[in-house]
Amino acid sequence: MRYLVAIGLSVALWSIACTRGPKGLSRGTYAAIEKGLPPLERAYEYRDANATAFEPRMLNAEHALDEVLAAGSKNANDASAWLIFRSSVGLLKIYRQNLESLIDAQDEHGAEFKKVRVDRLKLRAETSDQTAKDIALLKGYLY
């Protein structure tokens, strides 16, 4: 009986030692998300900037996403964090594509095309809200 308790205690301690953060991410995923969160935040901050400013930051965020994926999913929390990270990067990509389309429409139709401005503001608000929530969720996995 003592051996079973000792084995159970050893397994529990080993399990705790292999995870990090309040949500129990594996060490590799924790490190990848911790390293990848700043590039994601910078891409989010520059989402409305011109392509010269935004694109390098978006590429860094995509590279960080690849590193999170390469870390591998060891448990359900790793998979959940990876999906949130992927969702954030995807939202920023879609936002930029839509923003560029709206800017093109505005250029084509001129300044009187007020619907573009309204659509752009609505798109920005929706994307900002969801991406900010996702970044906050990711921080919850780390701190």
Q: What is the pLDDT of residue 105?
A: 77
pLDDT of residue 127: 83
Q: Would you say residue 111 has pLDDT above 90?
A: no
| Residue 73: pLDDT over 70 | yes
Mind giving me the DSSP string for 3-22? HHHHHHHHHHHHHHHTEETT
Tell how strand 25-26 and strand 19-20 pair up. Answer: antiparallel
Residue whose tokens read 């954030």 = 88
Tokens of 37: 């969160």
| Residue bearing the bigger pLDDT, 12 or 120 | 120
Query: How does DSSP classify residue 111?
Result: T
User: Three-state SS for 107?
Assistant: helix
The answer to whether residue 90 scores a pLDDT higher than 60 is yes
**Residue 109 — very low, low, confident or very high, per pLDDT cuts 50/70/90?**
confident
* Count of CB atoms situated within 10 Å of the CB of 79: 13
The one-letter amino acid at 87: S
Structural domains of the chain, with CATH = 2-142 (1.20.120)
